Structure 1
Amino acid sequence: MSFFGKNIKKIRGIKSLSQQAFADLFDLKRGTLGAYEEGRSEPKIETIIKIANYFSISIDDILTAELTVNQLLKFNDRLTLTPEELEREQFAQVPCITEKLADDYLEYYDNQSFIDDMPRLTLPINTEKDFRAYTVTNLEMTSHDKGLYPKDVIVGEKVPHKVVKKLNNGTIVLAVTENELILRRLYVTADGLVLRADHKNIDDQTITVNDLKELWRVRYVFFRRIPDFSDSMEDKMAFLEAQMKELRNSI
């Protein structure tokens, strides 16, 4: 039996990769990777080559001996650090609701096994809080060529039901209801919760707190493109200053 399973498990530990994240790198199923690590199955040679090349490890080393942490980190061989002794920053592993997973999420949002198997974003954010990422799928939160476009990714922090009505009006949220995922601005009214799109042609949607399965307050956004910063406040101020200077010089 080769040392392949033990070595890739050690690589995951050093690189802070979950089984799912590691499996995604090489188009593997999480269960298949688990079988490799537990010695219940041996990989195809193509898989071995991919992993060895990716981490710059010789095929002979990854198969025939237990790799040391020093080898994997390219440290001097005299160092004797172990994964447990390494001091590394802990990043949050944020489950991501992709377009393909949206329907399944509505059904299994409260199933921990399903959540554990979701693709994840590794982010340097608070590991003590509960976050959920979501891939934007429509133009409801766009206005005048600005805002959120399909393929952008938002990251939301979970909002307890008892806090929902205390959120500031206009907060961007991802609402999980019985039948849909709704990414809009939240407004609390006497009639309930109004979810309002930034796009002017989209009608408001009113729900109650009881309609909510989950609510995630948007904290971070990852744009698929570089946003246009040309209309920033700094640019406007610089333009006004230039205009004032030109006016003074003309007097």
Structure 2
Amino acid sequence: MSNVGNNIKKLRKVKGLSQQAFGDVFNLTRGNISSYEEMRAEPKIEIVLKIANYFGIPVQHLIEKNLSVNEILNFNDYFQPDIPTLGGKRLSQVPLLEREALLDACTYVSKLNELPVIEFPLQSRNRFIAMEYMDAIPVPGDFGITAQSILFFEEIDIDSLHTLNNAFGLCFSAEEFFIGKYTMVEREISLVLNAWKKVDFVLAEKGNFWKLYGKFERI
């Protein structure tokens, strides 16, 4: 079991908030907060992300650590927004496609800078995009990832195209939005959803190759 409930209780008391006031910040009820604090329920991952971002706390700390009062008081001072860190590692600020945005995801293809961001320790110089995965997203039959996970996709440049074959990827364009599996035949690259649907890519086009990098999943 995670430490989210205990940490919510500590956060609330350190910040001088009642259960009702804390719930109001995140569009939750007093009963929701009470159930989290008493370990009768755990918040959904999207709520955990909102709480972590609101208080400037790394998601991993909020879930796994038993936060002390001093840590809570010092997070906002220590984690500067321009150079966020976690245990000496730089935290990348990643645009997040939330569930609401996924209903019209194609409109965000040219608006990544307008999306909310989450901070995560990702070791790459390439761009990333994160997504709140839900069952309504079209995926191949062997995808095997549960709903409510946060998926991270890395933009692959031409020097790393050889890593795409048989990897899962995100089709994220003004016309299409789905998760498929890359296939490569000589210099031809396709992202395949199923036997009836695939997208063929032109190597000269920039920003088309989003490869599944990892996932953050509730345990």
Q: Aligned partners of 2:79, 2:119: CA distance in 1, in Å?
A: 19
- Structure 1 residues 88, 141: CA separation in 2 closer, same or farther (over 3 Å shift)? same
Q: Aligned partners of 2:147, 2:72: CA distance in 1, in Å?
A: 42
1:152 paired residue number: 149
List gaps (5 residues or longer) in structure 2. Answer: 1-23, 28-50, 56-69
Could you say which structure has the greater relative contact order, defined with CA pairs below 8 angstroms and 6 or more residues apart?
A: 2
* Displacement of 1:88: 4.9
Q: Aligned partners of 2:101, 2:84: CA distance in 1, in Å?
A: 35
Q: Aligned partners of 2:149, 2:79: CA distance in 1, in Å?
A: 35
Does the aligned pair in 2 maintain the 1:95–1:118 contact within 8 Å?
Answer: yes
Does the aligned pair in 2 maintain the 1:178–1:213 contact within 8 Å?
Answer: no
- Offset from partner CA, 1:185-237 (integer Å, 9 cap, x none): 1002369433234xxx753414222677532111111234x5xxxxxxxxxxx
> What is the 5 A alignment of 1:159-238?
159-160=156-157, 162-163=158-159, 165-189=161-185, 192-197=188-193, 203-209=196-202, 214-224=208-218, 226=219
Query: Amino acid of the residue matched to residue 124 of structure 1?
Result: P
* Displacement of 1:181: 1.7
- Structure 1 residues 124, 208: CA separation in 2 closer, same or farther (over 3 Å shift)? closer
1:120 aligns with one of 117, 137, 146: 117
Q: Aligned partners of 2:99, 2:139: CA distance in 1, in Å?
A: 15
List gaps (5 residues or longer) in structure 1. Answer: 1-24, 29-50, 56-68, 75-80, 227-251
Q: Aligned partners of 2:79, 2:208: CA distance in 1, in Å?
A: 36
2:25 paired residue number: 26
- Structure 1 residues 125, 189: CA separation in 2 closer, same or farther (over 3 Å shift)? same
Q: Is 1:107 aligned to residue 100 of structure 2? A: no
- Structure 1 residues 189, 109: CA separation in 2 closer, same or farther (over 3 Å shift)? same
* Displacement of 1:110: 2.6
Aligned length: 148
- Offset from partner CA, 1:61-101 (integer Å, 9 cap, x none): xxxxxxxx999339xxxxxx9988x9954311211112321
- Structure 1 residues 126, 164: CA separation in 2 closer, same or farther (over 3 Å shift)? closer
> What is the 5 A alignment of 1:56-71?
none
Matched-pair identity in % = 17
Q: Aligned partners of 1:215, 1:204: CA distance in 2, in Å?
A: 17
- Structure 1 residues 116, 156: CA separation in 2 closer, same or farther (over 3 Å shift)? same
* Displacement of 1:105: 4.3
1:47 paired residue number: none
Q: Could you say what the CA RMSD is over the residues aligned between the two structures, in angstroms?
A: 4.2
TM-score (norm 2): 0.50
